[in-house]
């Protein structure tokens, strides 16, 4: 009987992998897959954290930009040569003649925040924007009133009609407090920061030169260990044509 060539015999013995080899290969594959999954989850969590941080910074930046641009116009009137503040800004509800800023104090026990209102005289095409970005492009001089508050839905809102209609600007805002840099001694610079209630009691709205805004926003990382539930941002705004230090 003729013997088979050696290479044919070897081929018949190497028909495939054995069970042990398959199990080892599967174990190695699962180990690599678990490693890749861990890396993917870590990248995903990092991306989500960066996205939440960017959103928080965008909300803070938008809120403070709108507040700064609007509050700086308090008491503005376009023609100081032929006008004076008491005639350009006549007496109105909560405002004495010439007064450009007014606020109310919130009640923490009732979950209400401070409000702040500013008014100014808006001339045709002068480019002065209200809290919604609008300008006077169609008519005569217009007395504008902008009011900022925090809604029940935790949104920074503003109105241009005394509060009858509000527009949401920024979400996830838990509260807003305002302290007013006031020149109580008529020395030309603010010497005390007072609440709206104290400014009203002292009849000192004409002496207000700065507004220090504290916005408290929801912390998107509050679920992480050691993180506070909220984050506060503090910003001081100089009022137009007012001395400050």
Tens-place pLDDT, residues 185-215: 988 889 999 999 999 999 999 999 999 999 9
116: which strand partners?
103, 148
Residue 72's Cα: distance from chain center in Å?
Answer: 18
> Which is higher by pLDDT, 163 or 83?
83
Q: Write the pLDDT tens digit of every residue in 99-127.
A: 999 999 998 778 899 999 999 998 888 88
pLDDT of amino acid 50: 67
Numbers of helices and strands, H then E, in the chain: 4, 9
Residue 48 has pLDDT above 70, yes or no: no
Closest CA to 115 of 104, 107, 99: 104
Q: 201, exposed or middle or buried, with CB in 10 Å at 0-12, 13-18, 19+? A: exposed
pLDDT of amino acid 32: 79
Residue 242 has pLDDT above 70, yes or no: no
Mean pLDDT across the stretch 75-100? Answer: 90
Mean pLDDT across the stretch 81-96? Answer: 90
* Vertex 39 angle, CA 37 and 45, to 5°: 100
pLDDT of amino acid 114: 96
């Amino acid at each position: 009987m003729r013997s088979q060539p050696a290479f044919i015999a070897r081929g018949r013995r190497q028909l495939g992998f054995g069970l042990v080899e398959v199990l080892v290969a599967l174990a190695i594959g699962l180990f690599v897959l678990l490693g890749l999954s861990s890396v993917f989850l870590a990248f995903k969590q990092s991306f989500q954290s960066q996205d939440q941080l960017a959103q928080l910074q965008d909300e803070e930046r938008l809120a403070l930009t709108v507040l700064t641009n609007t509050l700086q116009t308090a008491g503005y009137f376009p023609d100081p040569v032929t006008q004076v503040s008491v005639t350009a800004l006549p007496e109105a509800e909560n405002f004495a003649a010439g007064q450009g800023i007014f606020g109310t104090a919130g009640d923490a026990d009732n979950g209400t925040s401070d409000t702040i209102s500013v008014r100014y005289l808006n001339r045709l095409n002068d480019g002065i924007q209200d809290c919604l970005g609008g300008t006077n492009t169609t008519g005569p001089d217009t007395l504008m009133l902008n009011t900022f508050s925090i809604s029940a839905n935790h949104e920074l809102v503003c109105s241009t009609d005394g509060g009858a209609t509000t527009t949401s600007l920024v979400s996830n805002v838990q509260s807003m407090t305002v302290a007013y840099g006031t020149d109580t001694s008529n020395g030309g610079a603010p010497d005390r920061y007072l609440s709206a209630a104290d400014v009203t009691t002292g009849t000192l709205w004409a002496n207000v030169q700065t507004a220090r805004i504290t916005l408290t926003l929801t912390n998107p990382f509050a679920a992480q260990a050691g993180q506070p539930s909220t984050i506060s941002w503090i910003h001081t705004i100089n009022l137009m044509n007012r001395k400050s230090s």
